[in-house]
Amino acid sequence: MSILVTGAAGYIGSALVRALLPRGEVIATDQSAPSHGRALTGNLAYPQFARSLITAEVGAVFHLAALVSGGAEQNFELGTKVNLDATRDLLEACRLAGHRPKFIFASSIAVYGGVSEVDDETPAAPRISYGAQKLVCEILIDDYTRRGYVDGRALRLPAVMVRPGVANTAVSGWGSAIIREPLAGRDYVCPVRPDTRMACISTARVVQCFVRALELEGEAIGPRRAVLLTGIPVSAQQMWDAVKARSRGRVRFEPDPRVQEIMDAVPKATRSARAAKLGLPASSSIEEIVDDYEKDAALENHG
């Protein structure tokens, strides 16, 4: 069995590909060449490319590629093509292939809106296009699973930290930058108040959750294939405090009204008894998230 990973050049995708390599051939695809696995470079916004990825040899698909929150809000057409249309193209390719591959989808807690605390019973009510697109994909995955075309599962991800390199268009990107930049010796101006909280999980824990999702039998998940992951509540001040003593860079807080308004409306914590029952781990503290980031960075630097 081959495993396909979309978005494989991203920081979550790269870490996931490394974790999957011992399990067999990993086909890694992205717009830029992934550094691990059998690389296929292309744009999922083009239906022909998306549909060409599902062959008889592909037994599992990890679909991580997306235009994240800020980008999808700024460019509705592109967000719809990448986040919704490309997902449907992949699902259609799975249906036409006829061998019911596992389909593991990276969803988001952006499917919720206007609530501070989220649990397994909180209804989805997205307030941004990115969240709406993710929710539609979840519904499609449930239906394609019901009809026997895929064996689907979707993980609703909290803010995944710490993103290395440069920031992307995610509104929550400050959460990574407030840790990454001072540790790298660079000063950082944080665009939210020190008391601003969001639900967080480390890249390492998310990768463990994805691998566990691959291992789970569909019957254990049930007909509702979207599973919320637990994200611990961490404030901007706590993030800075976790790295302050060992940082050469400094942080100052200058709230941007636009960013602050969005962050005030996002979930501050997510708690999922269902995820725990299924063996999907959570981060325990911001200190653990920082430690995981430094371990991941060291592993990446050593190839």
Query: How many structural domains does the chain have?
Result: 1
How is residue 290 written in tokens?
A: 């920082």
Out of 11, 46, 112, 130, pick the active-site residue: 130
β pairing state of 197-202 and 232-235: antiparallel
Higher per-residue pLDDT: 28 or 172: 28
What is the arithmetic mean of pLDDT over 150-163? 96
Using CA atoms, how far apart are residues 90 and 102, in angstroms rounded to an integer? 12
The identity of residue 106, as a single letter, is A
Quick check: is 130 catalytic? yes
CATH code of 265's domain: 3.40.50.720
Residue 26 has pLDDT above 90, yes or no: yes
> For residue 209, what are the domain limits?
2-301
DSSP at 109: G
Where is 62: in which H helix or E strand? strand 58-63
Provide the whole-model pTM.
0.94
Mean pLDDT over 55-61 rounds to 96
The pLDDT of residue 196 is above 70: yes
Each residue's pLDDT tens digit, 75-94? 999 999 999 999 999 999 99
